[in-house]
């Protein structure tokens, strides 16, 4: 779970006018071998991502940024990976080219990853989390902690670290990237 937590300390770019820079910097993946999947619990993975969202929320709050932004997690069934990203868009404007369903329940996303079954032909389920914004209070975070607001100005903070999470983006010709994000 420490690898999930490390995402909160990675470089964070919030640039509403350059979505490509955001997803190349802010998108990470986690894969696990079958035996590793069996040793993980849904509750532990969910809790780790919730702590990561809270840490990103705090970073954004400390930077004093305003505007829309979302931390989100999804299961890339074709790659067999959990992926997460932060973008300067609300949950209903995430950069997917196909239908998706924003959700406040991360457990089904994690369960699908841990089960690693055959891909389903349904809208992609994406967990979203509120990580800041000028009108959000601590009470709002507790009540609405899974649909998030943050960033209106460009910002890049932190240094990339090591761990099993890897940035997604790389080669813009990579079909996996094109399949997940619009151009």
What are the residues facing 100 on neighbouring strands? 124
Helix, strand, coil proportions of the chain in percent (round to 5)?
40, 20, 40
pLDDT at residue 128, as a whole number:
87
Task: Give pLDDT, residue 179.
Answer: 33
Element counts in the chain: helices (H) and strands (E): 7, 8
pLDDT computed for residue 151 by the predictor: 29
Please tell me the predicted confidence (pLDDT) of residue 182. 26
Per-residue pLDDT of the chain (183 residues; tens, 9 = 90+): 788 999 999 999 999 899 999 999 999 999 888 888 889 999 999 999 999 999 999 999 888 888 888 999 999 988 889 999 999 989 999 998 889 999 999 999 999 999 976 666 567 889 888 776 655 555 444 433 333 333 233 333 333 333 333 444 443 333 333 333 222
**Cβ contacts of 79 within 8 Å, gap of 6 or more:** 29, 31, 176
Q: Give the whole-angstrom CA distance, residue 115 versus residue 129.
A: 23
State the pLDDT at residue 134: 53
What is the C-alpha separation between 18 and 12, in angstroms, rounded?
A: 13
CA 99 to chain centre: 17
Nearest to 84 by CA among 34, 25, 142, 136: 25
Write the CB contacts of 145 (distance below 8 Å, at least 6 apart in sequence). Answer: 50, 53, 54, 129, 130
139's enclosing H/E stretch is helix 138-144
Prediction pTM value: 0.71
Residue 66's pLDDT is: 81
Q: Strands 70-76 and 155-157: what pairing?
A: unpaired
């Amino acid at each position: 779970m420490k690898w999930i937590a490390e995402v909160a300390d990675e470089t964070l770019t919030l640039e509403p006018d350059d979505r490509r820079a955001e997803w190349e910097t802010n998108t990470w993946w986690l894969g696990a071998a079958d035996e590793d999947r069996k040793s993980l619990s849904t509750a532990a993975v969910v809790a780790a991502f919730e702590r990561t969202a809270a840490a990103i929320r705090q970073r954004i709050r400390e930077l004093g940024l305003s505007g829309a932004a979302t931390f989100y997690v999804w299961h890339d069934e074709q790659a067999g990976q959990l992926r997460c990203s932060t973008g300067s868009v609300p949950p209903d404007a995430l950069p997917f080219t196909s239908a998706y369903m924003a959700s406040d329940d991360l457990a089904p996303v994690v369960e699908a990853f841990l089960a690693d079954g055959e891909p389903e032909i349904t809208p992609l389920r994406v967990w979203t989390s509120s990580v800041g914004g000028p009108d959000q209070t601590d009470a709002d975070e507790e009540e609405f902690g899974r649909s998030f607001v943050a960033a209106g100005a460009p910002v890049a903070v932190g240094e990339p670290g090591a761990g099993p999470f890897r940035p997604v983006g790389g080669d813009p010709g990579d079909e996996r990237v094109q399949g997940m994000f619009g151009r």
